[in-house]
Amino acid sequence: MQNLPVYLYQNILDVTLDLDPTIRGVNRVMYQRDLKVQKGLKNSIRVQFKNSDQKNISINSTDTFVFSMFDAINRREILNKNLEVLDAGTTSTRGLALLTLTESDTLDLDRTSYTFSIKKNENNGEYSPAYSNTYYGINGTLHLLNDISPVLQDSKTVNSYTKLYNDDTQLYEHYSNFLYANPEYNGNTALHTIAWYMTAFRGTVVVQVTLDNSPSIHSNWATIHTATYDQYSGIDYHNFTGVYSFVRFKFIPAKAPAEPDNDNPAYYGSIDKVLYRS
């Protein structure tokens, strides 16, 4: 049996805010660790304010601290949030504040590195800096990661078909190639999406699926969707769920009046392409 250790701990960021007028020796810290934030999650980061001696210092609930995040290249501010002061006058909470980044805060941001700063609002229209280290570095580095969000896959495009004549119906039928439905990635409610792009199309479209791992055109295909159109132009779509090995599409053009078969594109129009995603 495998044992999987999982760690649940608070993300703590140390910030130097030397409000003590007493001159004392400085306990040098070589660098401030980079901050890592995950997209698609609520990130709660505890900010620990210290003086240059690395001692926690008290802050007041009336103090306002502002977190600002910048594009590291263009120096454009893209996020600005107030910190929540957690200092309740006890030893365990001394100098603590909370930065909360919601899912929506990072949803539209690129996965890359940013710079950030924390400053104190002096309530007179001015700000005083907090430092990321004891060398008066005012900015820190934030890495926005996207390690756990699924990546949207490209749709598969169908724009060519095999035309076969059906002796039973005496009509031509156009079959797509077999599209792999990725059953290994899908659960029992796997979602499939199809979009048809049509120009003045007359006829019937059919969606078929199979559980065969090596299907042929005559395999056990099950029809799960049928739709008929009369000179339709535009985009139509259909969603369905289920775990299948392969999907295929076929369309049966309508037959023009007084013609022997349904092989007249000038009458039945066209299906320009089909997009499929599983």
**Maximum mean pLDDT: which of 23-32, 53-62, 110-119:** 110-119
Scored b (16 or more CB within 10 A) or e, 51-87 reads bbeeebbebeeebebebbbbeeeeeeeeeeeebebbb
242 forms beta bridges with none
pLDDT of 134 reads 61
pLDDT of 18 reads 61
Give the span between the Cα atoms of 81 and 115, in whole angstroms: 14
pLDDT of 21 reads 53
The domain made up of 156-277 has a fold known as Jelly Rolls (2.60.120)
Where do the H-state alpha helices sit in 33-139?
A: 103-106
270 forms beta bridges with 199
Triad 247, 251, 255: Cα angle to 5°:
165
Contact indicator for 128, 120 with CB cutoff of 8 Å:
yes
Residue 202 — pLDDT band, cuts 50, 70, 90? very high
Mean residue pLDDT of the chain comes to 84
Query: Has residue 6 got a pLDDT over 50?
Result: no
CATH superfamily of 11-145: Immunoglobulins (2.60.40.10)
Query: Has residue 96 got a pLDDT over 60?
Result: yes
Q: What are the residue boundaries of the structural domains of the chain, listed by start? A: 11-145, 156-277
Task: For residue 219, count other CB atoms closer than 10 A to its CB.
Answer: 15
Give the span between the Cα atoms of 71 and 69, in whole angstroms: 7
Query: Has residue 2 got a pLDDT over 50?
Result: no
Q: Report the percent of the chain where pLDDT is more than 90.
A: 35
Comparing 18 with 268, which gets the higher pLDDT? Answer: 268
Supply the pTM of this predicted model.
0.58
Task: State which H helix or E strand residue 235 sits in.
Answer: strand 222-241
Q: What is the per-residue pLDDT across 29-86, written as a single tens digit (0 to 9) for each?
A: 555 678 889 988 889 988 888 877 778 888 888 888 889 999 878 889 999 999 899 9
